[in-house]
Amino acid sequence: MVQFIIRRLLVSIPALFGVIFIVFVLARMLPGDPCLAALGERATDEICDAFNDRYGLNEPILVQFGIYLRGLAAFDLGESIRYGRPVAEILIERLPTTIELAFYALLFASIVGITLGMAAALRRNSKTDVTTMGIATLGVSIPIFVLALILQYIFAVALRGAPLQLPPSGRLSPGMQFDTIPEAWGLESLEGFPRAVLDFLSNIYTFNFVVTLQFDPLIDAVQHLILPVIALGTISLAIIARITRSSLLEVLGLDYIRTARAKGVADRNVLRRHAFRNAMLPVVTIIGLQLGILLAGAVLTETIFNLTGVGKTMFESITGRDYIVVQAFTLIIAVIYLSVNLIVDVSYAFLDPRIRLK
């Protein structure tokens, strides 16, 4: 197991290098001048010369790439052109929003998708099957931005004042007060990497409010998450439901399932002990791959619901020619995606003992 993980990590290095190089080159192929995008009317020739010299933009592209790699080797992600702040600080503030949104969207899609897929498979060609697959087809067909606007209209406008009314945007209601983890635990004097970790976890609001026992902000944060989670997770939910149904139907038709039933094993035990575990192998793979879709969909979702996360920051950075932020955020997202895929591969060994990690 350890050798497999080490081997996969080593194989991931060329993939990460390729992502870094491609994004680095493509970012600099974008039309427009970073100095003009950042300074606007204040940009003069003298100021832009100093600006380009500060950020190394007047160097040949290969020299710029070498400087960037040297910074990465020292765990320095650089300084944002647009915000004038270290990218690490921006990541600590905004990456938790995307992680929180993607995690709950994936959790929602997985639980509901697997449940619907199992219900459809166990009642094949029934009204339940037809209805479930119809919902799945509809979920795949509706774009995220359309579904998001529909949800906002229904739950924030049409149901205004009703018990089912939900907030249309933001992470918390205006004026909602809360303590961060360092404040709640009396660790304000903490500095360095441990403080950065606690600040990062504090910006995952639901985690922060659970560990610090702040229940009013927790309820408010959950209410603000419901609509963006549904909008982002619906497409993945539909895909997971269809894969679960087809995989479970295939397993239920195998010889060993018929043998178990012929021996008098209850259908509940056949499903739980034999069919479900083997049917989950392709489903787990699909769930891991959905992370990429969720991270990509977060760009639209965060913009529509006014959530300041990676997606919205990436959009602002691309339009503002902020190369440093684009490169750093892409690298972090690639690391997250490769890590999840490694977890998916390792989980195969636990789902099916016949599979050996080599």
Q: pLDDT band for 198, please (50, 70, 90 cuts).
A: very high
Q: pLDDT band for 282, please (50, 70, 90 cuts).
A: confident
Can you give the pLDDT at residue 208? 94
When the pLDDT of each residue in the chain is averaged and rounded to a whole number, the result is: 83
Question: What's the pLDDT tens digit per position in 305-345?
Answer: 988 888 788 888 887 788 888 888 888 888 887 777 777 77
Question: What's the pLDDT tens digit per position in 124-151?
Answer: 888 888 888 888 888 888 888 888 999 9
Reply yes or no on whether the pLDDT at 355 is more than 60. no
What would the mean pLDDT of 17-34 be, rounded to a whole number?
81
Reply yes or no on whether the pLDDT at 274 is more than 60. yes
Question: What's the pLDDT tens digit per position in 97-127?
Answer: 998 999 999 999 999 999 888 888 888 888 8
Reply yes or no on whether the pLDDT at 69 is more than 60. yes
HEC readout, the chain: CHHHHHHHHHHHHHHHHHHHHHHHHHHHHCCCCHHHHHHHHHCCHHHHHHHHHHCCCCCCHHHHHHHHHHHHHCCCCCECCCCCCEHHHHHHHHHHHHHHHHHHHHHHHHHHHHHHHHHHHHCCCCHHHHHHHHHHHHHHHCCHHHHHHHHHHHHHHHCCCCCCCCCCCCCCCCCCCCCCHHHHCCCCCCCHHHHHHHHHHHCCHHHHHHHCCCHHHHHHHHHHHHHHHHHHHHHHHHHHHHHHHHHHHHHHCCHHHHHHHHCCCCHHHHHHHHHHHHHHHHHHHHHHHHHHHHHHHHHHHHHHCCCCCHHHHHHHHHHCCCHHHHHHHHHHHHHHHHHHHHHHHHHHHHHCCCCCCC
Q: Which has more confidence, 196 or 293?
A: 196
